[in-house]
Amino acid sequence: MARYGMLIDTTKCIGCFTCRTACQRQNGLLDDEAFIRFETRESGKYPNVHVETVPLQCMHCDDAPCAQVCPTGAAHMGEDGIVQVDQDRCIGCLYCMAACPYQVRVRNSKTGSVDKCRFCTVSAYTSGTKMCTCVEACLTGARTFGDLDDPDSEISKKIAETGAAPIAPGLSKPKIYYVR
Amino acid sequence: MRRMNVRVLWRSDEDDEIFTIERKTAMSEKALTRRSFLAGSAGAVALAGAAGFMGFGAWEQAHADSRSTAKTVTTAHSLCGGCSSKCGYTAYVSDGKLIKQLGDEGHPYSRGKLCARGYGYANIAYSEDRLTDPLKRNAQGKFEKIDWDTAISEISDKVKSIISSSGAKALALVHDPRPSGKYYGPRFMQALGSANVYTHGAACYLSRTSGFKQVVGGGWTSDVAHSKMTMFIGRSYADGVRPSQVADIEAAHANGADLVIVDPRLNSTALFATEWVPIKPGTDLALVLGMSNELVRNGRYDADFVAANVEGFEDWKKAIAPYTAEWAEDVCGVPADKIASLAARMAAAAPACSIEPSWRAAFGCQYANSGETARAIAVFNSLLGVWNQEGGALFLPSVKAGALDQGKFPNPPAVSEKAYGLSDLPLASESSALSVAEGARTGDIKGVFFYNSNMVAGYQNPTYLGECFDKLDLCVVIDVLMSETAQHADYVLPECSYLERFELPEFVSASTPVVSLRDQVLDVIHPNTKPVDEIFTLLANACGVGKYFDFTVEELADAQLRTVGLTLDGLRASGTQSFPEKAFVYGTTPKFGTSDGKVHFTSDACAKAGYPAAPIWTAPVADGGSDELRLIGGKQAIHCHNQSVDVAALMNITKDYGLERVWLSSEDAAARGISDGDTVHISNAQSDGTVKVHVTERLAPGCVWMPSHYGCAVPEQKNAYKVGLRQMDFVPFRIEPGYGGACTQEAFVKVEKVG
Amino acid sequence: MMDSAAVFSVLSRCFVEGEQAEWDELTAPTAWADFLGGARQMLQDTHDLAERAPRGSRRISGCHLRDVLSESELKALAVPPTFAAHDEFARTHFTGGLPYSAVPVESLYCKDDDRRDPLEPNRGLYLGKTADYMRDLTTSLGLSIPDEFRACPDHLSLELDLIAVLLRSGMAAQAQTLVVERLGWLTDYRMKLIGLNEEAANFYISLVDMLVCERAKFTEASDEEDERPRAVAKR
């Protein structure tokens, strides 16, 4: 079994929102349903200014706080370490949204259920897409996806090379690593 | 008289006698009430049909199941419509819905990727705000639906009447060129006998292209990916996105190229830049003159190239002598040593360097000195001998369709006159749409067709332009949504969206030139919308010039492709086809497109037009008052001018992140007691309004930056209406002398805290 | 008096442009009175569309329009617009892309019952799920969507028309399912019409109110009895 994760190199993120709209198209999401959100930080004083854009989405935490609070088991750890939401079992109580340390779960305004990034590459293997939509769509190749448990995978090598780390220490055991 | 006593009528179910008003002709027995949209005059289906009934819940379940299993998916190669780049992509359609889009690897602009707009803007096809039927302004001034026959016949009557009273020269077309539109629209005008064809160029690239034309004969492409150094003056690849350009700049960055952003604002491309050079808006010319002066003073220009190719070098050299780096510092605010350093680094990188040609930005059209800035930039690149050198600035090849069979596709007679207003703009490389507004105001122009152009909101001051077009006898707008321009129309003709139409082949200039195709992706959604080729063909037929349109768009496409050895079927299958035999080769000095094939550092034409022969300092319009800030604008990666703002997938991003906010430097904000997130009042003689502010270190003091997409004034665009302010509202009407640019950043405003 | 099928057929004609002759015929005083009588009867009926006689086990309460409609709406209903007035209304409001568009298409009003901020409605797009459903449903009944409704198989006129067709085809239970499932969006559509702030809209508002009442009869009842057709269960 694989343990899938993602690496996001924020030194390459231009904040163009392509991953957001590509994800909406390819996954058939609503116009107001975004699985990826962005935080932009500006530092320094004019004219020596640095800007960083950080895309955030479900981190597929090994210890998924959302799954721990879900009363129906809708939010659960699925195969290959991918946190899933069984839409039919979601009762829309929103506990998981409160529990998520990264605020990356969104309520579907039509169904009332909660949804979030699905690491779509796994379903994409069957539909012929090469890679997660956001990884494939990124204009600058800021994203890498792969098996964290395989030391020879591109993502494992990149994490080792760059010292990529979770976005914030101590919140959970996430599977998205950031180069900053 | 139909009036009945309502109270009596509805008294109660006991007093049935009230209803005895003529029961004899009970309607239920009549055919009319049985006639059905679905079941025809029988009004019923065979009982066996009951088996076919499925409630919504059961259907939804079955539908969900069939989605996850095999479902027919069709694909088509097409061209994106999210901006003017027209990137090639493959559309995947299932059940009439666009379910997936993948950029085509072979298209030189997409190279396998689409941007945020490419995915989001596609939802325009299903938008609630789509125009669904031809509209006519009625006696009360309101639009109402009319049928195509009536619309076309009334429009053609007016066209004929204008021609008979004022001649075809009183008719004009304004369009933002699209693959089919740029063929059909101008052809229609030519068939009518009018030369008055205009593009959005005045508000995009007219000054730049005209300035370049004077010096090197035309525009270039910077070879950013292979450059050692590239300067971007105003242009931001990460904000006005074309995927291939983002990939190029990222590659250059990875290669260690020196990438410099000259911009009052630290734009999103900063990530890949080695240096941000903030500059006082409108003074880019001073920077370029200062750098040029440095090259000459230090003898760091390509003397061989100059000797072999340049006319007017000595006169130019004399003329720019006063413009030292120190002088430039005073004007543009960039320190002299920085200017010297930039010049020296460019010289060291030459010929693998250039100043990028840009679009609207600093010298496309926005200042009264944009044309002269463009000239100075072309001169600067020439000093470094970068033309057609690897990493430099390239004149890329393109392929064009050849002559067609005149029996099948006869060309209308050429019109000998120039476009209206062009003779007043001796330096303009093409006619300026602002001339049409002036012509409408004076009465010289009486009828205008707008195709895919929202001129009123986007090109210049909307109030002024609206007043001009209100004077027209005939104003026809062809578009997908209601627009500010359509608000001034007599007739609005609904086009189907770019996803629902086939268009003529698009030839793209590139290192290996290609031809690509916008194929139809979706069935036409609204039955009363039509593709542009059909609309102009209908108009032409009604106006008596149908003989120039007696072919289908597909016949024409195939004929065009056959002139370059291809077929429509072949191009449909691949989406993009390249012409490797025409591929660009580095190293040879180009034949410049000037009259004598030389590079002109001085220009008689400019001298005649009232400019100095050599491009020297010309100021933008004088500064505003001491408490005023220059209003500048710019693009965001999620929108294309004002075309995309009503699409919810994109406008939701604006709303989620407050992207409609104006930017103010922390210095200017502090001086006004303004904090981040405050609401501010922005005003000048042209307009005023309130909006939230983003206080930032990313902006040079002395200006306020307003994203140029917002402030939609069309209630029909329900997602975009009244979100943010519209930059053009604050711009006084002005045409750049000689060049015809729209001078859209020649505006100053007061910014005050509200409350 | 008109039967329910005819009532739905007439209603179906009121939300599209039509021909003058047809409109005149439909709204001639006697014909219109006949329609009103039929409508009144249908609304007051205390049984399912499928039953011609009341059934004790079903507690459907009839509905009196005069309890629901305002004076001005009643007046508007009693005096249908002339063809010219209807035609103008249709050409300015049942047409897309205008500021005063009020196109009666379910996809544009699709919303979740308990959705968030009512002031920020999630605006629909053409050819939403309900359009797909209507298209599939008509196809499976051996019918097809006329070309002029290509963009909107879930146009109110088609939904009403299909209800009429089902009633006439001995599928009253299915017709009632459609009434319950397909006409729920009319409360939103009603707000849209009211928002036009035009006297001419009263006629159409009163027709919509009639349909809202007719639907309410069954949804209220179905709250008490599970086997009754009901709005799609929320997922």
Nearest to B575 by CA among B116, B110, B96: B110
What mean pLDDT value characterizes chain B?
Answer: 93
**Predicted pLDDT at B7:** 35
Query: Given an 8 Å threshold on Cβ–Cβ distance, is B53 in contact with C137?
Result: yes
**Range list of H helices, B284-369:** 284-297, 303-309, 313-320, 325-332, 336-349
H or E element that contains C28: none
Q: For helices C129-140 and B56-68, what crossing angle results, to 10°?
A: 100
Q: Is the pLDDT of residue C40 over 80?
A: yes
C234 within some domain: no
- Is A30 part of the contact surface with chain C (CB cutoff 8 Å)? yes
C177 touches C215 (CB < 8 A): no
**Predicted pLDDT at B5:** 36
C230 within some domain: no
Nearest to B221 by CA among B388, B391, B393, B361: B393
C56 within some domain: yes
H or E element that contains C129: helix C129-140
Distance CA B491, CA B739 (A): 32
The number of folded domains in chain C is 1
Give the three-state DSSP class for B555: helix
Contacts of B113 in chain A (CB under 8 A): 18, 137, 139
C231 within some domain: no
- Is B275 part of the contact surface with chain A (CB cutoff 8 Å)? no
The CA distances from residue B442 to B173, B403, B446, B554, in Å, are 17, 39, 9, 41
Of B6, B142, B719, the CB nearest to C74: B6
- Is B60 part of the contact surface with chain C (CB cutoff 8 Å)? yes
- Is C132 part of the contact surface with chain A (CB cutoff 8 Å)? no
* Banded pLDDT at B423 (limits 50, 70, 90): very high
State which residue of chain A sits closest to C113, comparing Cα positions.
A110
* Banded pLDDT at B364 (limits 50, 70, 90): very high
Summarize pLDDT for B670-685 with one digit per residue, the tens.
999 999 999 999 999 9
C228 within some domain: no
Q: Chains touching chain A at 3 or more Cβ pairs under 8 angstroms?
A: B, C
- The domains of chain A, with CATH numbers, are 4-179 (3.30.70.20)
- Is A140 part of the contact surface with chain C (CB cutoff 8 Å)? no
Below-50 pLDDT ranges, chain A = 128
Contacts of A130 in chain B (CB under 8 A): none
> Per residue, what are the HEC states of B88-121?
EEEEEEECCEEEEEEECCCCCCCCCCCCHHHHHH
C233 within some domain: no
How confident is the model over B293-309, as a mean pLDDT?
Answer: 97
How confident is the model over B78-106, as a mean pLDDT?
Answer: 95
CA distance A110 to chain C (A): 5
Query: Given an 8 Å threshold on Cβ–Cβ distance, is A87 in contact with C235?
Result: yes
Share of residues in chain B with pLDDT > 90 (%) = 89
Which of B518-527, B708-717, B744-753, C54-63 has the lowest average pLDDT? C54-63
CA distance B706 to chain C (A): 26
List all residues 6 or more positions away from B714 whose beta carbon is below 8 Å from its beta carbon.
Answer: B481, B482, B483, B484, B486, B487, B720, B721, C99
* Banded pLDDT at B68 (limits 50, 70, 90): low
Does ipTM exceed 0.95? yes
Q: Is the pLDDT of residue C233 over 80?
A: no
How confident is the model over B360-365, as a mean pLDDT?
Answer: 94
- The domains of chain B, with CATH numbers, are 6-50 (no CATH), 63-119 (2.20.25.90), 135-205+428-562 (3.40.50.740), 217-396+588-602 (3.40.228.10), 629-753 (2.40.40.20)
Contacts of C234 in chain A (CB under 8 A): 111-112
**Predicted pLDDT at B64:** 73
Of C75, C143, C165, the CB nearest to B6: C75
C44 touches C36 (CB < 8 A): no
Distance CA A141, CA B636 (A): 20
B333 touches B700 (CB < 8 A): yes
Contacts of C111 in chain B (CB under 8 A): none
Nearest to B127 by CA among B513, B638, B496: B496
C229 within some domain: no
Token duo for residue B529: 């919308």
- Is B132 part of the contact surface with chain C (CB cutoff 8 Å)? yes
Nearest to B173 by CA among B431, B359, B424: B431
Q: How far apart are the first and last CA of chain A?
A: 29
**Predicted pLDDT at C51:** 59
**Predicted pLDDT at C228:** 32
Domain that holds residue C41: 4-222
B393-394 and B221-222 as β-strands: parallel, antiparallel, unpaired?
Answer: antiparallel
C119 within some domain: yes
Of B266, B650, B656, the CB nearest to A51: B266
* Banded pLDDT at B588 (limits 50, 70, 90): confident
Residues in chain A whose Cβ is within 8 Å of chain B: 11-18, 20-22, 24-26, 28, 31-32, 34, 37-38, 42, 44-47, 49, 51, 129, 136-137, 139-141
Distance CA B14, CA A84 (A): 61
Of C110, C114, C122, the CB nearest to A112: C114
Query: Given an 8 Å threshold on Cβ–Cβ distance, is B13 in contact with C40?
Result: yes
Of C36, C140, C157, the CB nearest to B9: C36
Token duo for residue C58: 């079903």
Query: Given an 8 Å threshold on Cβ–Cβ distance, is B115 in contact with A44?
Result: no
Summarize pLDDT for B433-486 with one digit per residue, the tens.
999 999 999 999 999 999 999 999 999 999 999 999 999 999 999 999 999 999
